Amino acid sequence: MSKEIFNPTRFNKSNNPDFEQVLEAHLSRRTLLKGGLGLSAMAVLGSFGLAGCGGSSSSGSPTASSAQLGFNSIAGSKIDAVSVPEGYTAQVLAPWGQPITASGSAWKDDGTNNAEDQDNAMGMHHDGLHFFPLNDEGTDGLLCVNHEYIDQNALHPTGSDADENGIRSSVDQVRKEINAHGVAVVRIQLQANGEWMVVDDDPLNRRYTGATTMDISGPLAYSSKLETPFSPDGSQARGTLNNCGNGYTPWGTYLTCEENWPGYFINTGETTAEQERIGIDTSGTTRYGWETVAGSPEERVDEFARFNVTPTGANASEDYRNEANGHGYIVEIDPYTANSRAVKRTALGRFRHEGCTFGKLEAGQPITFYSGHDSRFEYMYKFVSEALWDPADADATDRMAMGDKYMDAGTLYVARFDAGGTGAWLPLTLDGATQDGGVLADHFDSLEDIILNTAGAADLAGATPMDRPEWCAVDPFTGSVYLTLTNNTRRDESTGTNAANPRLNNKFGHVIRWDEGETASEFSWDIFVFGSDAAGDAETNLSGLDEFNQFASPDGLAFDKRGIMWIQTDNGADEVEEYTNDQMLAVVPSMLTDADGNAETINAANQGELRRFFVGPNGCEVTGFSMSPDYTTIFLSIQHPGNWPYSTDAAEETPANMSVRPRASVVAIRKTDGGEIGV
Ligand code: FEO
Ligand code: CA
Ligand code: CA
């Protein structure tokens, strides 16, 4: 979630093991599980590494990128404009409120657009996104954009109508807020002048909001635990909320991730174990108080009552006790099919999903999807498909059938990071082992129940509490998986550290990485880079960062297909914030090898290869990443800017003494000569 709405509560009350601080262990190069060697073989042979720059594996495919960053790191900035390297442009594209269908009015800068306008326009607080091309050149395509949450002060003429107790009165205001959440699918085209344009009212343009009906698939489909008066057979849920990170699939669909959804629901009565574990509110009102307009004569089909999940009737057919059970999932959307139904893929677990990223594909092998749970002391998960990857499925025309094939049946695992650079994936299945020597079946009756309380099952299995897992990205050359751990200032003497989260008061965050082992249950890991200010002491600035790459709170993370990794920040550390707004950095990890070809982490000698490429405007968070297929445009999101955008030129500074209604937006970055970005 954004630092703006971050809930500091520790939801994980388990006492999973924390290890002694082992700085030396995590700083040493990890041993890589490559070439079919398992952990035991590795222990005999000792450390061996990837082939060096431009090297090839025995199968002939390159094991390292040959990309060279072709720009100089830019200085930090703190202005109401974005900053890019010399020779680059940045365009404001598809900002909040821009109509995408003919049913919505033009955006008004006084906040007076109504709920129906919002239902037909770009939502608020853009986050994860992905570009799906519609031609070979990549100059025409569909942009899918997450809208994570809202700023009521910007959304309405004079902010929320809530009274001192949080009670709302305007049904249209509440509907507008619900409609500002979710996902937008919008067609965009590159014009001859090098600028992108939104195609107005394209048949493929559409919104998925906090109210859109969606199907449930996987273990919880047709479960009694999802029965509501709206969906008596438990096959549907209404809306997707707090859509943060994203993913996409090899078959051309978009994945949107439900992150901080518990705050939209309240239970003032008897709570369930899973509600307590995930943190559903039990008093006051929900985050925006939508449930407080329930019972209005204008209410349709319990559209507001459903956010109050307090059991009041005799059973689930008489109240909305199960409404929240339809949230907390990875949601699949087929952008290429107009009006297609979104599907919640429950097999991938139910928690605060930050993102969802598939591992390196191999024909005839399962597909792995990675997803982190973003809260303090929460866990990292992976889902391994039962179906084996058939490359022909990449061209399937019934894309959602591919989702059914690869995402509805498989095994969900949670990560235990052990000292010494190895780790174990713990299966969250009925026969999965628990720390006390039993199995999860001792605590759960079915896989449905495990999924519903994924984090509770992971507690029992003995997962490692992490410093807020955010986005994941997979190196297309090495298959190594990178994960941002944004920060955790509550990691103190009482909680202790562990090998994978070794810093007390971790205000700067770090990026961890791992390689899968020979079996689905083993991996090896190390820490790629530690966030820090340049002036940080030796215990803090462990990666030797300087002014030109100091950063804090890594969050968004992506690889492009050339092997360049892009790191985005949602900074919460004053030491870096005093120097720069949130930013995006680039590095080519597979190029960082020692003389023997072993993979290296960022250190004082090589840190110049981590370069600042972009800085956002004041107040914002930089998030979401996608590239056009020819690498000539980067699309990213600017979320919750303070006083921006001033014009369609994202780099044009809002004049001093001028206030604009802030609008989250996509920013399209290009080179002035139209060439490849970054190299
Ligand atoms: Fe919505 Fe964890 O960032
Ligand atoms: Ca995030
Ligand atoms: Ca964040």
Indicate which atom in ligand 1 lies nearest the CA of residue 259. 1
Task: Report the pocket of ligand 1 as residue ranges, CB < 6 Å.
Answer: 1-2, 148, 244, 259, 354, 374, 470, 555
Contacts of 266 (CB under 8 A, 6+ apart): 280, 281, 282, 283, 284, 285, 286, 291, 307, 308, 309, 310
pLDDT value for 63: 85
Query: 3, exposed or middle or buried, with CB in 10 Å at 0-12, 13-18, 19+?
Result: middle
To which H or E segment does residue 152 belong?
Answer: helix 152-155
**In whole angstroms, what is the distance from residue 340 CA to residue 326 CA?**
19
Beta strands in 104-170 (DSSP E): 126-133, 140-147
Distance between Cα 53 and ligand 3 center (Å) = 33
**In whole angstroms, what is the distance from residue 524 CA to residue 515 CA?**
5
**In whole angstroms, what is the distance from residue 299 CA to residue 391 CA?**
48
The CATH number assigned to the domain with range 19-96+125-149+181-225+241-261+327-671 reads 2.120.10.30
CA-atom Rg of the chain in angstroms? 24
Q: Is the peptide bond before 645 cis (omega within 30 degrees of 0)?
A: yes
Indicate which atom in ligand 1 lies nearest the CA of residue 127. 1
**In whole angstroms, what is the distance from residue 121 CA to residue 436 CA?**
52
Low-confidence residues of the chain: pLDDT under 50: 19-58
Helical residues (DSSP H) of 4-150, grouped into ranges: 23-27, 39-45, 115-119
Exposure string for 318-337, b = 16+ CB within 10 A, e = fewer: ebbbbbbbbbbbbbbbbbbe
Distance between Cα 255 and ligand 2 center (Å) = 15
Distance between Cα 639 and ligand 1 center (Å) = 11
Q: Say which amino acid occupies 171.
A: V
Indicate which atom in ligand 1 lies nearest the CA of residue 468. 2
pLDDT value for 17: 62
Residue 168: DSSP 8-state: -
User: Do strands 469-474 and 481-485 pair parallel, antiparallel, or not at all (unpaired)?
Assistant: antiparallel
Distance between Cα 553 and ligand 2 center (Å) = 10
pLDDT value for 1: 63
| Contact yes or no for 622/582 (Cβ under 8 A) | yes
Distance between Cα 39 and ligand 2 center (Å) = 33
pLDDT value for 59: 52
| pLDDT, tens digit, 9 for 90 and up, residues 567-602 | 999 998 999 999 999 999 999 999 999 999 899 999
- The three state secondary structure string of 539-590 is CCCCCCCCCCCCECCEEEEEECCCCCEEEEECCCCHHHHCCCCCEEEEECHH
Instruction: State the first-to-last Cα distance of the chain, in angstroms, to the nearest integer.
Output: 31
To which H or E segment does residue 278 belong?
Answer: helix 273-278
Indicate which atom in ligand 1 lies nearest the CA of residue 1. 1
Distance between Cα 485 and ligand 1 center (Å) = 11
Give the strand order in the sheet containing 665-671: 88-93, 665-671, 633-639, 621-627
**In whole angstroms, what is the distance from residue 212 CA to residue 210 CA?**
6
**In whole angstroms, what is the distance from residue 584 CA to residue 569 CA?**
7
Distance between Cα 299 and ligand 1 center (Å) = 31
| Contact yes or no for 46/31 (Cβ under 8 A) | yes
pLDDT value for 7: 81
**In whole angstroms, what is the distance from residue 264 CA to residue 273 CA?**
18
**In whole angstroms, what is the distance from residue 122 CA to residue 675 CA?**
29
Distance between Cα 448 and ligand 1 center (Å) = 26
Q: Residue with the nearest Cα to atom 2 of ligand 1?
A: 1
Nearest partner of 272 among 453, 428, 430, 13, judged by Cα: 453
Indicate which atom in ligand 1 lies nearest the CA of residue 374. 2
**In whole angstroms, what is the distance from residue 676 CA to residue 679 CA?**
7
Following DSSP, what letter does each residue of 359-370 receive, concatenated? Answer: ----TTSEEEEE
| Contact yes or no for 516/523 (Cβ under 8 A) | yes
Following DSSP, what letter does each residue of 170-238 receive, concatenated? Answer: -HHHHHHHHHHSEEEEEEEEE-TTS-EEE-TT-TT-EEE-TT-EEEEESTTTT-GGG--SS-TTS-EEE
Judged by DSSP in three states, 345 sits in strand
Q: Residue with the nearest Cα to atom 1 of ligand 1?
A: 1
Indicate which atom in ligand 1 lies nearest the CA of residue 260. 1
Distance between Cα 434 and ligand 2 center (Å) = 31
Indicate which atom in ligand 1 lies nearest the CA of residue 470. 2
**In whole angstroms, what is the distance from residue 633 CA to residue 623 CA?**
16
| Contact yes or no for 549/612 (Cβ under 8 A) | yes
Nearest partner of 241 among 262, 218, 221, judged by Cα: 262
- Single pTM value for the model: 0.94
**In whole angstroms, what is the distance from residue 366 CA to residue 147 CA?**
31
Distance between Cα 386 and ligand 3 center (Å) = 32
Q: Residue with the nearest Cα to atom 3 of ligand 1?
A: 1
Nearest partner of 214 among 251, 265, 256, 172, judged by Cα: 256
List the domain boundaries for the chain: 19-96+125-149+181-225+241-261+327-671
Indicate which atom in ligand 1 lies nearest the CA of residue 244. 1
| Contact yes or no for 97/196 (Cβ under 8 A) | no
Beta strands in 407-461 (DSSP E): 410-417, 422-427
**In whole angstroms, what is the distance from residue 297 CA to residue 93 CA?**
39
Indicate which atom in ligand 1 lies nearest the CA of residue 354. 2
Q: Which two tokens mark 32?
A: 């890589």
| Contact yes or no for 20/493 (Cβ under 8 A) | no
Distance between Cα 571 and ligand 3 center (Å) = 8
**Ligand 3 ion: Cβ-proximal residues, 5 Å cutoff:** 555, 570
**In whole angstroms, what is the distance from residue 443 CA to residue 454 CA?**
12
To which H or E segment does residue 529 belong?
Answer: strand 522-530
